[in-house]
Structure 1
């Protein structure tokens, strides 16, 4: 191994890929013949990323390869695969190391200078380099085991070449070049491998698009019972999008964005299926339309007054359900909407935390200056949702109500909300994003 990489929170500097892997992506996407001057121009674009900080990562990537013991043929194999053969230095009178030396002259490896304050908010990741190398090599081998487009000619030595970069140069660079190869050669990955790659992405503090942009994933079927959203979802997430005193967008546009708002690790259509589940749950329940109006008004902070728009609660839910079905018909045409069994055994636990919240809700009002909703009235409506429709949705409505009204919480009560969210299978960030700032320091 040669020089060490200076670890950074890359997501604070870049919006997507960077360094040599970003250059490979630009070469692959280029149209027309690519000669050395054109390639150097694209390298200058990569160096200019992050207000010029891209030159640091590009120079570091280059120097790590030049100072490594990675065989020349391995470098050429990876470079051709990552660029889709769009720029092979051997066709221009040099080899890959000669091309890298030209880049090194322009972008010498250097330590990053003082980081602007707004970039320094994210701490650099602490990485166990040996563990990282082992994990990256494991993913390369997982793809190689599936064969096909990852190992066919003329890239029969590709897995070993990528492993050599991980073990002899830098695992961070090897991972980015491996991802670039997957995307360039349209190699699909299964959901379990995508989740492992996402964990690596998070550990290295990459910008999210570096992983998921253009990566082909074999997604499992849409399933509203599978809770893989990290944050809020369904009707409460939709209400959050409408929160506030006014909106530039018409409701239909907000709704269309919400039904398409799948998280990076979700099967396309998951957000729409979860929202449809909530809508159907209420539509098929005995919960009165007026109660639906109340919980919607509180969760959305009266940002979209459906009654003023000429809709009652059920008419609004039918419009929501129709938007969900339209989106699912596009992204998951084989999906058959269904309602999954409610977690009725958790209704008592939700009512308990709702009752414990009553003192904090007393005297508070949602949207006190326009269409006021007294918090105790909303709490009664939430209780009806819990007992007559779905304890899961009722719990999310309660969490949303506490966040809207900024009701202070003790550490003990906050812990109970976290525990209950885990029992429902909610994502890591659902409760913490909504309530963590409300916890009183004792």
Structure 2
């Protein structure tokens, strides 16, 4: 049987298949067979009934693997935190899996009719996936044994669980083994270092899993909070705050909007990083010689008037102080030992940023922010950005410049786009930062092959 790989993140919000069933049973209190079967039905019913596809595939891969009952039992008991052992109800693991296979036989997905081309499914060679999962199991083996031994689990379970997970990943199915491995790590609070966590996120991204399947409930050993470390792939700080206010479906208050943005740590970041980055940007601007009027114009422009602070009686400096206050509140909640700091300005890149701004100024100057209401001339907006680059921080200024390109829908040539990405790399931005910040602006006619 060949697994039908999907873009699972479009189907599921979290875990699925046999590992999701194990998680449900692990959180239950002394489940019996009836309750286990009810939980299986819930897993199968996920995603409007499509959950049965992954559940059936997982079960069939284990049954067809030829692995002994003892191996499957060790992995299953660890994944369910020993809450449900089929042996307590007169059957072994093979018998339990056979019953599930009868209820949920393997079948292809019922694909909905679509009227547009669908992007290709994730491709990841099975042997490569199996080897990667086995390698991660071996990385965690010692900590897993310690966690099991510390819990007081008896018998030979502590010594055999890592080998059982290796066997499932290496001899049955890489995906089933990967999800059962993650479930075991979570159930036994096995500490996972940041480097391993990053590898697991990359691995699951390759097979299209939703992020929460990895990070929710995992005991990640986060690095100390450091806003100079660029772990996220996209935008951050005040530039991404402005984008959020421009696109919020519901209009939050000024404080509510900042508080929400301060919680949006990237899955690769130490909790509190989003707030620390907001704090740093706001303090840099407050410490700069930029006037309150300039700061007001700057915010209204890059947020595309998503929050009209001028209509709310809030000037630019008051707005920044609010951002600082809310960011500090968030940091006290999630990183109480962290003292907010503002690092040194990277002045070496001031001139390259100014050159990029100057080159784009003719296009920006002919446009108007929010032209339909309370318009802001493009010349005023780009002048405010230039002041940030010159007198506050070229990094922040560059991020706000990219944001302004998006707001004013400035078309780019291939050469400009490549240059913007290259400058972003010099600042250490993530791979998706520049494309997302400028909104994938259309290219100028005649420039497609440059």
1:439 maps onto 2:443 in alignment: yes
Q: Deviations over 1:406-427 (max 9, x none)?
A: 0000000011110011100111
Does the 8 Å contact 1:244/1:302 carry over to 2?
no
- Per the TM alignment, residue 244 of structure 1 is displaced from its structure 2 partner at its CA by 5.8
- Per the TM alignment, residue 434 of structure 1 is displaced from its structure 2 partner at its CA by 2.7
- Per the TM alignment, residue 256 of structure 1 is displaced from its structure 2 partner at its CA by 0.8
Does the 8 Å contact 1:150/1:158 carry over to 2?
no
Does the 8 Å contact 1:12/1:122 carry over to 2?
no
Question: What residue in structure 1 maps to residue 267 of structure 2?
Answer: 264
Question: What residue in structure 2 maps to residue 7 of structure 1?
Answer: 5
Return the alpha-carbon distance in structure 2 between the equivalents of residues 407 and 217 of structure 1.
Answer: 41
Unpaired runs of 5+ residues, structure 1, are: none
Return the alpha-carbon distance in structure 1 between the equivalents of residues 388 and 443 of structure 2.
Answer: 26
1:53 maps onto 2:56 in alignment: no
TM-score, normalised to structure 1, is 0.96
* Match runs of 1:16-415 below 5 Å: 16-31=14-29, 33-117=30-114, 121-146=118-143, 147-149=145-147, 153=153, 154-243=157-246, 247-415=250-418
Return the alpha-carbon distance in structure 2 between the equivalents of residues 220 and 245 of structure 1.
Answer: 31
Return the alpha-carbon distance in structure 1 between the equivalents of residues 81 and 148 of structure 2.
Answer: 12
- Per the TM alignment, residue 405 of structure 1 is displaced from its structure 2 partner at its CA by 0.7
The alpha-carbon distance between structure 1 residues 119 and 216, as it changes in their structure 2 partners (threshold 3 A), is farther
Does the 8 Å contact 1:386/1:393 carry over to 2?
yes
Return the alpha-carbon distance in structure 2 between the equivalents of residues 408 and 266 of structure 1.
Answer: 32
Return the alpha-carbon distance in structure 2 between the equivalents of residues 307 and 150 of structure 1.
Answer: 59
Q: Deviations over 1:223-254 (max 9, x none)?
A: 11111121111001111111169953222111
Does the 8 Å contact 2:412/2:441 carry over to 1?
no
The alpha-carbon distance between structure 1 residues 115 and 150, as it changes in their structure 2 partners (threshold 3 A), is farther
- Per the TM alignment, residue 161 of structure 1 is displaced from its structure 2 partner at its CA by 0.4
Find the residue that maps to 2:120 and give its secondary structure: coil
Find the residue that maps to 1:437 and give its secondary structure: coil
Q: Deviations over 1:147-176 (max 9, x none)?
A: 421566442211100000011100110000
Return the alpha-carbon distance in structure 2 between the equivalents of residues 220 and 389 of structure 1.
Answer: 28
Q: Deviations over 1:369-392 (max 9, x none)?
A: 222111111111111100100000
Which shifted more, 119-128 or 57-66?
A: 119-128
